[in-house]
Amino acid sequence: MKISCQIGKPEKIKTDALVLFAPQEQKLPRDLIPVDRATRGQISKLLKSGDFSGKEGESAVSYPDGRIPAQRILLAGLGKISEVNLETCRYSAGKALCRARDLGARECHLLLPEIPAGVGSGPIAQALIEGGLLALYQYEEYKTEKSKKQIQKITLLARSETERRLINSTITKIQIIIESVNFARDLVNGPGNKVTPEFLAGEARRLAREERLKLKIFGPAEIKKMGMGGLSAVSVGSTRNLPRFLVIEYPGKGRTGRKPVALVGKGITFDSGGISIKPANGMEEMKTDMAGAAAVLGTLRAAARLKLSPRIVGFIPATENMPSGSAYRPGDVLRPYSGPTVEVISTDAEGRLILADALAYACKKYRPEAIIDLATLTGACIIALGREASGLLGNDPKLIKKIIQAGEESGERVWQLPLWKEYGEAIKSNVADIKNSGNREAGTITGGMFLKHYVGDTPWAHLDIAGTAHEEKGRRYFGKGATGVGIRLLIKLLQDW
Ligand code: BES
Ligand code: MN
Ligand code: ZN
C-alpha cells in the first residue's frame, strides 16, 4: 500500500474516491464548501435530504459526473462534534475506506477533517491511516478466490506545507506499526496445523534475519534440561508438534549492556484443554491461543524497524496443549524453572505453567528493568471486561500507570484488576507450594496471582488479552478474526520509555 500526503484542493483532484469527513448535527462543514460549490451542491443535497446525517461510521456516495475530476465523493460521518476523538477518527476512516474498496476504488484521497480544539492534525492523520489499514486487512491465505477489490494508494490532503511535512514524517512510522500488527494477525489467524511451535520458530528466524535481531531457539531436549517443568509438562501430550522456547532480542539504540525491557508472550498454538479437555463448541477459536506470542514478535519487528531506543528481549514459550497417552494429568506436580512447585488441578490452565518458566527464566537470566507478559489466559477476563479492554495486573504502580496511559493513547484500552494477597488463598495447594487453578471466582486475578510468584521483585505487568485478541463478529475497525492486540500499546509505551 502506498500512502502519502500532499497539499491539494479536493475539488481539483482526480481520484477514484474523494473521501470527505463530516460531523453530525451540522450544516455543510466549512472545509467542504469548495467541493459543494464545484459540484452544484451535491454535498448539501446529501445533508438536506437526510440521506447522510454524519453519524459515526455512516457513509454516503455521490457521483460528481465530471463537475470535478474525482470519480466519486464518499461522505464519511464522524459522529457528534463534541465527541470526536482519535478513536472515532480511526473508526470513520476504517468504515469509509472499506466502503470505497467495496465500490471498486483503487485509489483514495482523504481530506483531513477540520476538528476544533485539542487534537492536532498530526495525530488525526495518524488515526485515519491506522483505522484505514486495520480495517482493510483481510486474511485470505486459504481462499481459492482472492478478492480482486483492493485499495492500492491512499493520499491525505493537507491544507498547508507545515501540515504536509508533519504528516509525511509520521506516515512511515504508522505504516511500520500497522504492518507489524497485520503480521501478527496473520499468525493468529493461521490454523493450528500450520502455525505450530516449529512454525513460530521459523517466523522468528525470518524476522531475526530481516531485522538483525539476536535469536536463540531451544528445542524439547534443551527445554527439559534447563528445568522448564511447566513448558515440558504441557508439551508432552503432543507427539508430533514439539515445543520451542524462543528468545529474540533487539539491542536498542546507543549504549550497550543496558538492562532490557522483557516481553513474554503465551504461545499455545492450539489449546484443546489437554486431559481436562474443553467442550467441542467453539474449540476452533483456541488456535488463537498464541496471540501473546504473535504480539511479542510483532512488537519486536516494529521496534527494530522504528529503531526505538530501549533494548527489548522477547521470550516465547511455544507448545500445543493436547490430550494423549503421554499427556500430563491433573494431580501431577511440576517444578518450573524456578519459584514455587505446582500441583496441576486443570491441564486447561496451561498458559500460566508455560509463562511461569518464561517469566522466571527472563528475570533470572536477563535481570530486566521491567517485564510485561501478554496472554490469552482466562475466559474469566472475557466475562469481566468483555471485548473492549484487556485485563491489566501487576506489582508495580509506576509501570501500571504507564501502560494505562499507553493504552488510552494507542486505542488499545486496558483495565486494571487488583492482586491483593487475600486472593492468594484460592491457589494454595495441599501437596505442592501452589496449584494452577482455584475455584471459579476471580479467575483472571488468580491467574495473575499465580504468575506473580515467578517474577520475584522485577517490576512486572500482565495483560490478559483473552477478550481482545480475537473478534467473532468484528467491531470498531476490526473485521472477524485476529486483532493483533498489544503491539500498538507496547510500541507507544516503548517510544515514550
Ligand atoms: N486459553 C484459555 C483461555 C481462553 C478462553 C482464551 C477463551 C480465549 C478464549 C486458557 O488456557 C484456559 O483454558 N483457561 C481456563 C483457566 C481455568 C482452567 C483456571 C479458563 O479460562 O477456563
Ligand atoms: Mn487452557
Ligand atoms: Zn490456553
Q: What is the pLDDT of residue 25?
A: 77
**pLDDT per residue over 240-264, tens digit each?**
999 999 999 999 997 777 899 999 9
348 lines ligand 1 (CB under 6 A): yes
Q: Which of 108, 173, 97, 185 is nearest to 135 (CA)?
A: 97
Residue 148 and residue 233 in one domain: no
Helix ranges (H only) for 103-228 are 121-136, 161-189, 197-211, 220-225
The C-alpha atoms of residue 497 and residue 224 are separated, in whole angstroms, by 35
Residue 99 and residue 41 in one domain: yes
Do the Cβ atoms of 374 and 263 come closer than 8 Å? yes
Domain contains 155: yes
**pLDDT per residue over 268-312, tens digit each?**
999 999 999 999 999 999 999 999 999 999 999 999 999 999 999
The C-alpha atoms of residue 282 and residue 296 are separated, in whole angstroms, by 25
Domain contains 182: no
Last residue of some domain: 139, 172, 205? 172
**pLDDT per residue over 318-339, tens digit each?**
999 999 999 999 999 999 999 9
Q: Which of 234, 297, 298 is nearest to 270 (CA)?
A: 234
How far the first Cα of the chain sits from its last, in Å, is 30
Q: What is the pLDDT of residue 54?
A: 95
The C-alpha atoms of residue 162 and residue 114 are separated, in whole angstroms, by 15
Residue 417 and residue 353 in one domain: yes
Residue 162 and residue 269 in one domain: no
- For residue 59, the tally of other CB atoms under 10 A from its CB is 19
The C-alpha atoms of residue 267 and residue 494 are separated, in whole angstroms, by 22
466 lines ligand 1 (CB under 6 A): yes
The C-alpha atoms of residue 247 and residue 203 are separated, in whole angstroms, by 13
CATH number at residue 235: 3.40.630.10
Residue 232 and residue 348 in one domain: yes
Residue 228 and residue 273 in one domain: yes
Domain contains 85: yes
Strand residue runs (E) in 41-129: 59-62, 73-77, 107-111
469 lines ligand 1 (CB under 6 A): no
**DSSP-assigned letters across all residues of 169-191:** HHHHHHHHHHHHHHHHHHHHHS-
Residue 209 and residue 254 in one domain: yes
Going by DSSP bridges, is the β-strand pair 214-218/244-250 parallel, antiparallel, or unpaired? antiparallel
Q: Which of 343, 344, 355, 378 should be mutated for ligand 1, with most atoms under 8 A from CB?
A: 378
**pLDDT per residue over 165-200, tens digit each?**
999 999 999 999 999 999 999 999 999 999 999 999
Mean pLDDT score across all residues of the chain: 96
Q: What is the pLDDT of residue 116?
A: 66
**DSSP-assigned letters across all residues of 33-55:** HHHHHHTTSHHHHHHHHTS----
The C-alpha atoms of residue 284 and residue 485 are separated, in whole angstroms, by 19
Do the Cβ atoms of 215 and 279 come closer than 8 Å? no
Closest atom of ligand 1 relative to the 288 alpha carbon: 8
Do the Cβ atoms of 250 and 312 come closer than 8 Å? yes
In Å, what is the CA distance from 249 to each residue of 292, 358, 360, 462? 16, 14, 17, 20
Domain that residue 121 falls in: 2-172
Q: Which residue carries 475466559 as its cell?
A: 379
Domain contains 180: no
The C-alpha atoms of residue 155 and residue 204 are separated, in whole angstroms, by 33
C-alpha cell read off for 490: 507496547
- Residue 61: pLDDT above 80? yes
349 lines ligand 1 (CB under 6 A): yes
Contacts 24+ apart (CB under 8 A), 439-446: 440/380, 442/380, 443/378, 443/379, 443/380, 443/381, 443/383, 444/377, 444/378, 444/380, 444/381, 444/384, 444/391, 444/393, 444/417, 445/393, 445/417, 445/418, 445/419
Domain contains 184: no
Q: How far is the CA of 274 from the centre of ligand 3 (A)?
A: 10
The C-alpha atoms of residue 176 and residue 153 are separated, in whole angstroms, by 16
Specify the DSSP element, H or E, that contains 21: strand 17-22
269 lines ligand 1 (CB under 6 A): no
Share above pLDDT 70 across residues of the chain, in percent, rounded to a whole number: 100
**pLDDT per residue over 423-437, tens digit each?**
999 999 999 999 999
Residue 330 and residue 468 in one domain: yes
Q: What is the pLDDT of residue 256?
A: 73
Active site residue 165: no
Residue 203 and residue 145 in one domain: no
Q: Mean pLDDT across the stretch 451-467?
A: 98
- Residue 386: pLDDT above 90? yes
The C-alpha atoms of residue 17 and residue 9 are separated, in whole angstroms, by 14
> Of the residues 80, 278, 402, 413, which is catalytic?
278
Specify the DSSP element, H or E, that contains 384: helix 379-385
Domain contains 282: yes
Closest atom of ligand 1 relative to the 271 alpha carbon: 1
Do the Cβ atoms of 266 and 374 come closer than 8 Å? yes
Residue 379 and residue 279 in one domain: yes
Active site residue 278: yes
> Of the residues 244, 266, 311, 352, which is catalytic?
352
The C-alpha atoms of residue 469 and residue 481 are separated, in whole angstroms, by 8
Last residue of some domain: 172, 203, 233? 172
Last residue of some domain: 172, 205, 232? 172
Residue 428 and residue 288 in one domain: yes
Domain contains 178: no
Domain contains 98: yes
- Residue 117: pLDDT above 70? no
- Residue 55: pLDDT above 90? yes
- For residue 41, the tally of other CB atoms under 10 A from its CB is 13
Q: Mean pLDDT across the stretch 151-157?
A: 98
Number of domains in the chain: 2
Residue 144 and residue 206 in one domain: no
- pTM (2 d.p.): 0.97
CATH number at residue 91: 3.40.220.10
